[in-house]
Structure 1
């Protein structure tokens, strides 16, 4: 049975961009959507992001590093290091999103998976934001060595790995010929902030 799956990633609170993507998907014959992480922050989008994804039959929600940042702010808002500019920045963003999000949607973020596995048409697929056990870092930038992409395959039984995080569309293979897919970003443009030396 043919199944069409939309891969979405890295909204980063940009409800305008997500709305445009959703409107386009509604014109296509898509059965389901998989969201690969970073739904909230640094943009101001909140409850409408969840509504938009629910409206296109999204059945996988992966937790990105920014989603983790939001959860960390909720958990440790009283222990932010006010001498650290990045802590202050993340804290202010997190507080804004927290105040806007419904309790139901806050709870949904807490339940986002770190990684998931699905079998579609006898193909076993690994789904993550970055590496299956680490949703941050620069190991999977487009110019990384093939050995880095091998880490997406927890074991050799996987046929395909999909991930987000690096804001760059990508189609390549592991050293064993397993397909690697990255759909790119919805909410923030790609820029290479990682050194490759």
Structure 2
């Protein structure tokens, strides 16, 4: 079984399309999506429709998808960050149908599944929460706390936009990286992973180039808010 693992598309359908085209040449059997689909990008409806067409085995809610759980439109922003987030929310909410927003709200925050001989836990941030970032290469005491109650041998997670395949005690920890925003060390390519359980357990971390200028053009034509902030999301990730 060859399973594509995707996360953090963030309303960037140009990047999402490039990844899907790459997957079409990889003999993929299943797709797992770990959340953050529509927010902070100029193409929320397009990425939703593309994800629906793919019929993923797992489709999780990410922390930015969870903005739809509450009516942020009623929030009176008081900080620069809140003003940015409200503008992103307003753009997204006015471009999705009510049924599409309902579908996003209904997605799970966590999923347990069994593929071949492997028990797998899927989360967006960590087993402790959607916005709780995991980094197996840093702060082992934090990682120990995050995995304390997780018995699955494989843990799939996103949120940090940092591609990782790492063994930690009994766990294999896999972060596919981000499809739609900049990845670790300012890598602007769209990232995803392939988990191959046909013979043993193998993970391939893939990166796919896409047309950033086209994303900027679409964003500009649609009067996407926070353009300076959005350019940074697409090009800067020094962590």
Normalising by structure 2, we get a TM-score of: 0.71
Task: Note the alpha carbon deviations across 1:25-80, whole angstroms, 9 max, x for none.
Answer: 122211111111111221111221122123333121111111123433xx2421x1
Q: Structure 1 residue 14: deviation in Å? A: 0.7
Query: For the Cα contact (< 8 Å) 2:68–2:105, is it kept in 1?
Result: no
Q: Partners in 1 of 2:91 and 2:25 — Cα distance?
A: 33
Match of 2:73 among 74, 77, 80: 77
Aligned twin of 1:39: 37
CA 1:156 to 1:12, structure 2 compared with 1: closer, same or farther past 3 Å? Answer: closer
Aligned counterpart, 1:15: 13
Matched length: 186
Instruction: Report the Cα offset of residue 82 of structure 1.
Output: 2.7
Query: Where does structure 1 lack aligned partners over 5 or more consecutive residues?
Result: none
CA distances 1:7-33 after superposition (whole Å, capped 9, x unpaired): 000111111000111111122211111
Q: Contact 1:114/1:133 (CA < 8 Å) preserved in 2?
A: no
Pick from 119, 140, 145 the counterpart of residue 146 of structure 1: 140
- Whole-Å Cα distance in 1 between the matches of residues 145 and 21 of structure 2? 35
Q: 1:98 to 1:13 in 2, by over 3 A?
A: same
Greater than 6 Å deviation, 4+ residue runs: none
RMSD: 1.9
Q: Mean alpha-carbon deviation: is it higher for 158-167 or for 84-93?
A: 84-93
Name the residue aligned to 1:58.
56
The offset of 1:109, in angstroms, is: 0.8
SS at structure 1 position matched to 2:94: helix
- TM-score calculated relative to the size of structure 1: 0.85
CA contact (8 A) 2:136 2:173 kept: no
Q: Which runs of 5+ in 2 are unaligned?
A: 184-236
User: In structure 1, how many angstroms separate the alpha carbons of the residues matched to 2:47 and 2:160?
Assistant: 20
